[in-house]
Amino acid sequence: QLPTGLYKKVLVILHDSILPYMNEPTLMIDFLTVAYGIGGAISLLALNGLFILIHQHNLEYPDFYKKLYSLLDPSIYHVKYRARFFHLVDLFLSSSHLPAYLVAAFIKRLSRLALTAPPETLLMVIPFICNLFRRHPACKVLVHRPNGPEDMSEDPYIMEEEEPSESRALESSLWEIQSLQNHYHPDVAKAAAILNQSLSEIEDDISGLLELSAYELFDKEVKKKADDVPLEFEQVRGLFGKKNDIFAEHFSLD
């Protein structure tokens, strides 16, 4: 057992400063799998090293996606390592061989958590979800379900279920993204409205959105040039602007 601070320092540099220089990187399998099971930020940071072992050294991790699914909680939209996490989740969900129920579970869980996410994160998550629909067309039933639940309490999706295959995500609909179409931030509402249209085949590039901050979003809004706002919709016809004003009988603007 290592102190939490030391765990984080090691895992941050493990994938590019330690593993490439080891003769046998597979010696780190136990360390990374244990770290991946700890939870929280340590699990997020262990993803980088695990990805290298799975991708380059044939590590088999049967419950990998189940554990990855369990990492999706409200904190992922606020943690310091958010960009790194979503970059890796994007890689892990890029394979077209993943079953539809698994991808649908990720889409549904991300959408449900998006209801309480800040605007700067939503501008990244919504294109992220759209990309998953492009890769896995079988999941589009979540958007185009004609007889979806009218009441949110009737949603068959089980948020508390840890096993993606038991979450009943494919039986649900994406009412969460539809509700975001009424978001107070216009950019978020515009991004969510794209699901009302047919998606293009080309994926959105989310690399520039992964590290979008609230400050950048605010700065962008402040620098917008506002159009001239009309203050009068009726031409002035008297001293106080009314056509039949009693003052118009005694005073004139001419």
Quick one: pLDDT at residue 241? 59
pLDDT per residue over 119-144, tens digit each? 989 999 999 999 999 888 888 888 87
Q: What is the pTM of this model?
A: 0.76
Place of tokens 């969460």: 176
The residues spanned by each domain of the chain are 96-222
Dig out the tokens for 114 from the structure.
């998006």
Q: Which of 161, 143, 156 is nearest to 69 (CA)?
A: 161
> Which tens digits make up the pLDDT trace of 205-228?
888 777 788 888 888 878 877 777
Q: Say if residue 21's pLDDT is above 80.
A: yes
Give the Cα separation of 62 and 73 in Å (integer).
21
Answer yes or no: is pLDDT of 24 > 90.
no
Q: HSE (CB half, 13 Å, CA atoms) of 38?
A: 22
How many CA atoms does the CB half-sphere of 154 hold within 13 Å? Answer: 5
pLDDT the model gives residue 146: 62
- DSSP conformation letters of 103-156: HHHHHHHHHHHHTT--HHHHHHHHHHHHHHHHH-GGGGGGTS-TT--SSGGG--
Mention every residue, 6+ apart, whose C-beta is less than 8 A from residue 139: 100, 103, 104, 107, 132, 133, 170
